[in-house]
Structure 1
Amino acid sequence: MPVVDIPGSKSITARALFLAAAADGVTTLVRPLRSDDTEGFAEGLVRLGYRVGRTPDTWQVDGRPEGPAVTEADVYCRDGATTARFLPALAAAGHGTYRFDASEQMRRRPLLPLTRALRDLGVKLRHEEKEGHHPLTVEAAGVEGGEVTLDAGLSSQYLTALLLLGPLTRQGLRITVTDLVSVPYVEITLAMMRAFGVRVSREGDTFVVPPGGYRATTYAIEPDASTASYFFAAAALTGGEVTVPGLGEGALQGDLAFVDVLRRMGAHVETGADRTTVRGTGELRGLTVNMRDISDTMPTLAAIAPYASGPVRIEDVANTRVKECDRLEACAENLRRLGVAVETGPDWIEIQPGTPASGVEIKSYGDHRIVMSFAVAGLRAPGISFDDPGCVRKTFPGFHEEFAALRAALG
């Protein structure tokens, strides 16, 4: 029975780096994810004047509740959405001029709901080229706090950035949300804030964040549930069995609910206190599923959908169109390359059963999740290749080696 050691969660590592930088004291992060995204976040903190010490298994961050240690900085956010959205909010709590830029891919992704909310809170900032996109300059003078309204219908990261900022403001924040996607990611944020000493209350659609700052701690990063989805899907697809330790009943990440989708399709799933096991049964049933709250695993399901006995329809995933690429269309294009019938709408994709062709090159669109998802399809479609296999470095630099070992173990 293959036991797969999944790297640390990208989402949790990014939040932990913010919280550690904002906390009073030295925080130790245990088993953080080391990937292009998280290294970029850590590098951004260093450019802002925070000390980040690194060993193979831990990162130590000297927190500064008063904000960045430098009064001027130029931060390159690479491809990282958490870096590009969280660090400007952290910088706003300080005093100085901070410029943020990002890759072309990240420059295309929307930022306006967050920067509009920051402006409403009195933060002076400007988009240097296209309104609502990087590059962005923040002229920080601390944040008073108060009430603000936010539309988080495109990304929950906008809300997370404001929640994380709240305790660093002088009054705290009352954030009223008009729309919200990927709710489980907000639950991760709230749980992690509690671990750093801050408890957020909720009054209907309003999140109430108290002032007062964070306290430093030692924080263990759990394995990445989105990454685990590829290995769980591999078991369901091949009739094999995969166990992922570190992801169990108490896991923070909502994307672990992907195993419930596999269960509905016919796989056997066992979730213990500290591990989850998926065993394929030789059957994959079609289904209609709402994936609004676990949309990062939409490509995983799309990639194995042709092997189901009936159509697979995935709904309420409009936000996947503004990720690293338009993931709905990227999945549709690659499924068509494999000879599979597929239709898409504004927020849905429907995939018909079929026999995917062999020897097809998958178009990655520079998106790590497209590559990792279609690697799973390649378990039953020999000869699949990728035009940019290295883009997995964003979240899992060793993915191809780990997946090859799993392929061998599953036979």
Structure 2
Amino acid sequence: MTLVEIPGSKSITARALYLAAAAEGVTTLRRPLVSDDSEGFAEGLLTLGYLLDRRPGVWQVQGRPAGPAVPAASVYCRDGATTARFLPALAAAGHGSFHFDASEQMRRRPLGPLTNALRELGVELTHEGAEGHHPLRVEARGIEGGKITLDAGLSSQFLTALLLTGPLTRRGLEITVTDLVSVPYVGITLAMMNAFGNPAHRDGDTFVVPPIPYQARDYLIEPDASTASYVLAAAALTGNSVTVPGLGSDSLQGDLRFADVLRQMGADVQLTPDQVTVTGTGRLRGVTVNMRDISDTVPTLAAIAPFADGPVRIEDVYNIRVKECDRLEACAQNLRAMGVSVLTGPDWLEIHPGPVRSTTIACHGDHRIAMSFSVTGLRVRGGITLDDPGCVRKTFPEFHRTLAELRASWGI
């Protein structure tokens, strides 16, 4: 059995930074993710005037429930979707003039459902380029709150941004959703809001957030379950065993359910409250899986699917077409380049087993495509080549070193 330390959760780190910035007092965050995404979020908070002290393994944030400490700022969100979606909502709850922009990749990703909801709440904002996309200007005068309706069918981050902002409004929020993907991520948001002192909850299709302020606290960030999927899949694919400590049945993250997918495929999975172990059994079965709620792990499953003993069909994942790239199409393109038979539809992907040849993977600047198909290379004669290996810095800067150490420990 090989032990692999996985860096902190990207999703939890972003939420924790928001909550710490919005809370009364000084919050200590332990084991935050240090990557391009989380650094971009922290830099955005600094630009807005929040005080952060970042030391190895421990970040401290001085909260400001009143909002940004500066009357005007221009924030560059890099490639970070949480930065680009959460920080405009945070700024809107304060007072001042705030400009937000992002990379070309992030500019292509949708923002409209969130900004339409903010407008419905009375926030004055302007899309300076394409409507519903960055760049964006927010003229903030606080948010009254109230009842709104939201379509979160493309991204649960639209709902999360509003939920996190609810306690900063004068009357709180009641948000009724007409569609929602990645439900477990909303569960993370509610659990963390509760941990920071706000009793936000779900009542059917409506999310209720009272205007009860956040309180600072000491908060430990668990390892990233989406990132863990790569090493768990590697064990299942190669017939080896790997354990990820700090990530078990007590986890907040829905993406740990990827381990259940591996179990369905024939891997041995052992889950305790504080760790998960996956052991490959030498066989991967074909499966049909609805991955609507764990869609960040779709590329991981697609990358090992050619080695199953029957077709692997992934369903209900339209939202992955509007991630860092069109992930559904990117997976199909790369699998076909390796000689694999693939069928696709608007929201599904079906992969048939067969010989896999060495090729160059088109990463499309997407960290999840790069890391997933690096796992495929463990079973390909001659391996695979990535056209953009550096894109993994978005969430796991040490990925290539970690995978190389894993290969060495397994003698691959």
User: Conserved in 1, the CA contact under 8 Å of 2:190 and 2:201?
Assistant: no
Task: Identify the residue that residue 174 of structure 1 maps to in structure 2.
Answer: 174
Task: Identify the residue that residue 366 of structure 2 maps to in structure 1.
Answer: 367
SS in 2 for 1:378: helix
- Tell me the number of residue pairs that the alignment of Structure 1 and Structure 2 aligns: 410
* Separation (CA, whole Å) in 1 of partners of 2:167 and 2:42: 21
Once the two structures are superposed, residues 268-326 of structure 1 have per-residue CA deviations (whole angstroms, 9 ceiling, x without a partner) of: 00001210000000010001100000000000000000000000000000000000000
* Separation (CA, whole Å) in 1 of partners of 2:257 and 2:362: 27
* Separation (CA, whole Å) in 2 of partners of 1:100 and 1:321: 24
Once the two structures are superposed, residues 157-215 of structure 1 have per-residue CA deviations (whole angstroms, 9 ceiling, x without a partner) of: 00000000000000000000000000000000000001100111322211110002100
Task: Identify the residue that residue 218 of structure 1 maps to in structure 2.
Answer: 218
Listed as ranges, the matches of 1:142-221 within 5 Å are: 142-221=142-221
SS in 2 for 1:130: coil
Computed over aligned residues only, the root mean square deviation of the Cα atoms, in angstroms, reads: 0.5
* Separation (CA, whole Å) in 1 of partners of 2:81 and 2:159: 13
Listed as ranges, the matches of 1:48-197 within 5 Å are: 48-197=48-197
Q: Which runs of 4+ in 1 moved over 6 A?
A: none
* Separation (CA, whole Å) in 2 of partners of 1:204 and 1:191: 17
Find out whether 1:279 has 2:279 as its counterpart. Answer: yes
Unmatched segments (≥5 aa) in structure 1: none
The TM-score with structure 2 as length reference comes to 0.99
Task: Identify the residue that residue 301 of structure 1 maps to in structure 2.
Answer: 301
| Matched residue type, 2:317 | V
| CA-CA distance at 1:249 after TM superposition | 1.0
SS in 2 for 1:159: helix
Task: Identify the residue that residue 379 of structure 2 maps to in structure 1.
Answer: 380
| Matched residue type, 1:346 | P
| CA-CA distance at 1:132 after TM superposition | 0.1
Once the two structures are superposed, residues 313-351 of structure 1 have per-residue CA deviations (whole angstroms, 9 ceiling, x without a partner) of: 000000000000000000000000100000110000000
* Separation (CA, whole Å) in 2 of partners of 1:186 and 1:383: 38
The TM-score with structure 1 as length reference comes to 0.99
Once the two structures are superposed, residues 377-396 of structure 1 have per-residue CA deviations (whole angstroms, 9 ceiling, x without a partner) of: 00001330111000000000
SS in 2 for 1:110: coil
| CA-CA distance at 1:410 after TM superposition | 1.7
Once the two structures are superposed, residues 358-381 of structure 1 have per-residue CA deviations (whole angstroms, 9 ceiling, x without a partner) of: 2x1100000000000001000001
SS in 1 for 2:166: helix
* Separation (CA, whole Å) in 1 of partners of 2:254 and 2:201: 20
